[in-house]
Amino acid sequence: MAELALYSPDKKIRFTLPSPADDEAVAKLRSDPICRKYVRFLPESVSVAEVTEYRESRAKNPHNLDFIVSALNAQGEYQFAGLCNVFLIDEIHMWGDAGIWITSDRHGQGLTTPILYMLLEHVFEQRGLHRITFMTGVDNAPMRGWLEKVAGARLEGTFKDCWKEPTGGYLDVVLYAILDSEWKDRVKDSLVKKMKERGLGLPKDA
């Protein structure tokens, strides 16, 4: 697969394609109970070997777009900070479903907005997708709040009893969406405004 690196406007966040060097960090992320709080249907722990197999399998599927997220640390070095992706990409109707994982030590540092700004800018402006959806559990107040208040994503509906709970029963899942026209008309500007407020994602003179 060709090399690809994307950077936030202030160069503090970097996207790269997954590589074997990332597998250990991804396994740790996906086994972190804090990060699994709202995706309880996933395995409680994931081995490095399982991440390797998963990465290699997804790399062969053109309907997946995965990025490793790195952020500058205090020493000015890029450090693993999470991952984001768009999957189920439909190249006929030009849509896909997006997801994001941020390492628990980076929670509350304002990374969500620049990461999703970078992802949406890439898929809408570079890949030419028409529609991006986000699915999350009804109990995921932080993500729902970001989608509604920061991005202004539209709540399109609720999937009743969609995700199986490990303790029994099912969880309702909500669906949000952003169109390319909405990205251009208001969402992009909204995310830029939020990044300016947080002082992350944009150059200081932007």
pTM: 0.94
**Listed range (17-31, 34-48, 67-81, 192-206) with the worst mean pLDDT:** 192-206
**Listed range (12-16, 79-83, 195-199) with the worst mean pLDDT:** 195-199
**Listed range (2-6, 13-17, 87-91) with the worst mean pLDDT:** 2-6
Amino acid at 49: A
pLDDT in tens, 90-147: 999 999 999 999 999 999 999 999 999 999 999 999 999 999 999 999 999 999 999 9
CB distance 81 to 103 below 8 Å: yes
pLDDT in tens, 39-88: 999 999 999 999 999 999 999 999 999 999 999 998 999 999 999 999 99
Candidates 177, 160, 158, 161; CA nearest to 169 is 161
Measured between alpha carbons, how far is 175 from 73 in angstroms, rounded to an integer?
A: 34
Measured between alpha carbons, how far is 158 from 172 in angstroms, rounded to an integer?
A: 7
Q: What pLDDT sits at residue 3?
A: 64
Q: What pLDDT sits at residue 95?
A: 98
Report domain 5-198's class. alpha beta
Which residues, listed in sequence order, are joined to residue 79 by a DSSP beta bridge?
A: 71
Q: What pLDDT sits at residue 206?
A: 62
Sequential DSSP letters for 45-77:
---HHHHHHHHHHHHT-TT-EEEEEEEE-TTS-
Q: Cβ atoms within 10 A of the Cβ of 76, count?
A: 7
pLDDT in tens, 141-190: 999 999 999 999 999 999 999 999 999 999 999 999 999 999 999 999 99
Q: What pLDDT sits at residue 1?
A: 45
Measured between alpha carbons, how far is 90 from 58 in angstroms, rounded to an integer?
A: 15
Q: What pLDDT sits at residue 4?
A: 81
CB distance 79 to 28 below 8 Å: no
Question: What does DSSP say about strands 131-137 and 78-90: parallel, antiparallel, or unpaired?
Answer: unpaired
Measured between alpha carbons, how far is 119 from 21 in angstroms, rounded to an integer?
A: 22
Candidates 49, 124, 113; CA nearest to 84 is 113
Measured between alpha carbons, how far is 49 from 65 in angstroms, rounded to an integer?
A: 21
Burial 16-42 (b: 16+ CB within 10 A, else e): bbbeeebbebbbbbbbeeebbebebee
Question: What does DSSP say about strands 78-90 and 95-102: parallel, antiparallel, or unpaired?
Answer: antiparallel
